[in-house]
Structure 1
């Protein structure tokens, strides 16, 4: 399995949207109600992803040219890390986070934050992120986590 990571382009928006929505509906549905999932899905439509591409550095992971995961960096905040459920537990998410950490170090950042879902808290903890606090957006719980970067 040859995973390539690259910067996303506008033409990737439909595939990014599909990857995120699949992950939300399959993976996050274990930890969040269908109402919350439906609400979050709305934020990842193709137009929303196109807007995201103008506000953040968005990366995609591809296998054989097909997008299987995405992650983004906005200032010192990691956002929208999603791996297609068919490709979970293959190191793709770790590879994306490692790439983002390198980008952050190159930009002179020493601290990264991530607003984690309940579903991904263990994943981020395994990468050295530590819980700072919980935040609630209506009934959606998000875990704010942080990691100091070492050059």
Structure 2
């Protein structure tokens, strides 16, 4: 038993995703999209996100070393990815949202990006915009993707200046 358990705090681990994490990462994304997005978007948008974040794409990103996972008590509950100086595919299981885990993932990813870049960007879905604003991101522009049957996916392109650490 870890010291963290003796004081009532769950042990938290943030690490690069492994090949064996692909199923968990896919499940986190799809469960979150299916649970959260219907309050903000038509069903076709949730379908689009689940197709876009396919197991094959996630697996390729894991193999490229771009995917990270957040684990609590040995369970993977959140994920985020990095592409150059962009945070992508950040999701926390719905039952763990509102507890600071998304903020933890963003902070960890920003720290890694800050080692090489002075700014970070991301595409924010409607459910996540307020979290990113709270963490210092600002909207650069509004975007939209026209899907089938006149359905439009709207999102924000956001950015933030970073405090540079360990940059040469």
TM-score (norm 1): 0.95
How many equivalent residue pairs? 150
Kindly state the Cα deviation for residue 106 of structure 1 after the two structures are TM-superposed. 1.5
User: Counterparts in 2 of 1:64-103, with a 5 A limit?
Assistant: 64-103=73-112
Gapped regions of structure 1 (runs ≥ 5): none
RMSD across aligned C-alpha pairs, in angstroms?
Answer: 1.2
**Aligned residue for 2:12?**
3
**Deviation (angstroms), 1:66:** 1.2
SS in 1 for 2:59: helix
TM-score by length of 2: 0.85
Q: Hey, what's the Cα distance between the residues in 2 that align with 1:5 and 1:23?
A: 19
Residue of structure 1 aligned with 2:129, choices 121, 135, 147: 121
Map 1:13-28 onto structure 2 (within 5 A).
13-28=22-37
Q: Deviations over 1:105-134 (max 9, x none)?
A: 112x00100100011000100000000111
**1:149 corresponds to which residue?**
162
Contact 1:3 1:92 (8 Å CA) reproduced: no
Give the gaps of 5 or more residues in structure 2. Answer: 1-9, 147-151
